[in-house]
Structure 1
């Protein structure tokens, strides 16, 4: 496995797309095994595309893009403005709330970072926001999106670890809201320091809030319908994804009337194909690489090492979390979930850590990789829209990075924060 890991590091430093890095490294390992048929890597890659559970991924990707094309984003933006536009740094506060709302319809941190930076970034610059801060706000608040259901990361993790995807969806609600509130506090402190003004003079009246809520009810109700459908056993995750597509089309064509067939085929499906292609390429290649890890008994060896270091659940989760945050400097979040779930999940099982609690900490720690330099995809999406430098972004990101790590530590120390909602909905 040494040559495969070495190839992995070299190819990654060369800037090769992560799917090819993973696939080539896995094939190199197979070439070193004289007794294994060389057709196995092809079989492994293709078998990943035949998983019924993973069918939910392309369906939710399409559903998220449909929701964006259907005018949901603009409606939610207006609703967020009514809720928090009166606060200091109003546009930045809107970004935080909008990301929480988009978590219920999108599930993609990268797409949300690009969309919100494009929507809010230019207006932020006109109002005197520093460029680095404007990008950092939109990029870091997008971290909430994959945590609030329906998140694609939950589907990947649940499929690999054989953990209830419905429980994972429910478990993400409270941590996602906590993260949103923490980001709003960070924004408020920064806005006071930078003397950034609110977007509106006073708080919206209750009647205005209710009117805006009524206009957005079709968008806001979707994640609750999703969880109710899973809890009642009415739908599987894949079937919910298919339902989400029809739901989004119905909203776009019949309710908001901002979608037509031309827009559906030329914009929505076109964007979806690119998103699905990149995810499935990583998914296929990761199976090849993971086969070598399991064959070499890497999970078992790592488990023994970690258990020799500590038998404390809290300390073990802290070590794994910080390891994931560090790897996020170099690896895509999707790749980490696919490759490292089979490695670390057995360790958590040995110590008796609740699988849902561990999953939330694991996914949030891995998802930070999209926000951190030098390879964060969400970071590049935001910086490219406003033509901001990585240095400007990194400097402005420090308060968000620290606050995110504190939230992760809070979730580790208080498991109930991740378990209370799924236990209420699905039972203990």
Structure 2
């Protein structure tokens, strides 16, 4: 029966049926063939979407959308320029650091990539950076968005794996900075080799840094509010998302940058993005129930342990497995389907679920840069008007940087796993 389920699912994928509908149809076919009451399908769909932690998703999306309709992103770019604009590859370095800063605001790689592509890529091209290189930097650095808190993907993972979303947020902070560091090193090497950034290099100024920090203070305070409230126990992750949305709204009104005409666009973005995510969540719930009913988690455990019981080898295989899946499947769908299936293996091998969550997310985000379903690749190339072939030629050094960062994060968890237990008891 398991082979039939997979055959139907991937057959629908090949027919370009949207992911949520492909998963739902596969589940419905199984339930009908198994002579299970059709009401079970409806019950599982409703149960999948009816979760308090998942309320954080539309609220974080709303907060990010509000902030994207103000000048907060521009002010973060200005602060990033004041910090790293003097380093070789100035605007490209700013691009990476700005993604690190914006990650603490929206938690969405696509939102960060869209904002950065619209604002920074034209500036980089005007300063002599090749457009494919500029777009490649933007797309690669946008992978940082869902790693540094707040992160929509970590909210979903925490719900699936049964771990604290607050701890999951903290576990992603240092890995996000590691990814940013390797990308900045890559930018420096490429700029040195090809002479990028000679015309935009600026002198470091403490006065400029101070003024830029003051200008970006509203934006910088938002992640402090979110994480501070979670860490002190003042509110839950879901409540933190609501606070973030209210905070963004208040800032927009106080600074008089949020206009009434922005509201329809903000609501449309929030509803569309939330609908896409929640459709996948709801559709994957009965599918996950079916996999559990067919004892697929136990099969996966037996398969991996029969190959090797060594944790390092298993982590290597899982990295390859998730990267390949990230090439062909939507990130959220992969997580919702496979995290419950793989948790017995994680428990059996003694892998920390927080460590495992960080590894999964980074793997799947790298897949967003790669054909045939690389959402970051398509989004940035579409906005900037760059051909996919040219993008792929420019992005390969950043693949290397991301894979090196992934290896470090996978095999040296002691670099960052001390932080969640230190700040959240």
Tell me if structure 2 keeps the 8 A contact 1:333–1:368: no
Tell me if structure 2 keeps the 8 A contact 1:95–1:141: yes
Mean Cα displacement is larger for which, 400-409 or 165-174? Answer: 400-409
Deviation at 1:259, TM superposition (A): 0.6
Deviation at 1:70, TM superposition (A): 2.9
User: 1:181 — aligned with what?
Assistant: 181
User: 1:113 — aligned with what?
Assistant: 113
User: 1:9 — aligned with what?
Assistant: 10
Deviation at 1:156, TM superposition (A): 0.1
Whole-angstrom CA distance in 1 between matches of 2:236 and 2:129: 45
SS at match of 1:306: helix
Whole-angstrom CA distance in 2 between matches of 1:364 and 1:319: 15
- Structure 2: which 5+ runs fail to align? none
CA 1:31 to 1:122, structure 2 compared with 1: closer, same or farther past 3 Å?
Answer: same
Whole-angstrom CA distance in 2 between matches of 1:340 and 1:212: 43
Q: How does 1:5-154 map to 2 (within 5 A)?
A: 5-34=6-35, 36-154=36-154
How many residues in Structure 1 have an aligned counterpart in Structure 2? 424
CA displacement, residues 70-90 of structure 1 (integer Å, 9 cap, x when unaligned): 321111011111112222322
| 2:330 equivalent to 1:332 | yes
Mean Cα displacement is larger for which, 180-189 or 45-54? Answer: 45-54
Mean Cα displacement is larger for which, 213-222 or 118-127? Answer: 118-127
User: 1:417 — aligned with what?
Assistant: 415
Deviation at 1:200, TM superposition (A): 4.0
RMSD: 1.5
**Counterpart selection for 1:283 from 281, 284, 287:** 281
Deviation at 1:341, TM superposition (A): 0.6
Q: How does 1:161-240 map to 2 (within 5 A)?
A: 161-198=161-198, 200-240=200-240
**Counterpart selection for 1:356 from 354, 373, 393:** 354
Deviation at 1:102, TM superposition (A): 0.6
Mean Cα displacement is larger for which, 339-348 or 199-208? Answer: 199-208
Normalised to the residue count of structure 1, the TM-score between the two structures is: 0.95
Whole-angstrom CA distance in 1 between matches of 2:27 and 2:400: 35
| 2:373 equivalent to 1:375 | yes
Whole-angstrom CA distance in 1 between matches of 2:288 and 2:316: 24
Tell me if structure 2 keeps the 8 A contact 1:70–1:248: no
**Counterpart selection for 1:293 from 287, 291, 302:** 291
CA displacement, residues 232-283 of structure 1 (integer Å, 9 cap, x when unaligned): 22111111111001100111111x32113331x2221111111111111111
Deviation at 1:57, TM superposition (A): 0.8
Mean Cα displacement is larger for which, 118-127 or 287-296? Answer: 118-127
Whole-angstrom CA distance in 2 between matches of 1:198 and 1:54: 47
Tell me if structure 1 keeps the 8 A contact 2:20–2:280: yes
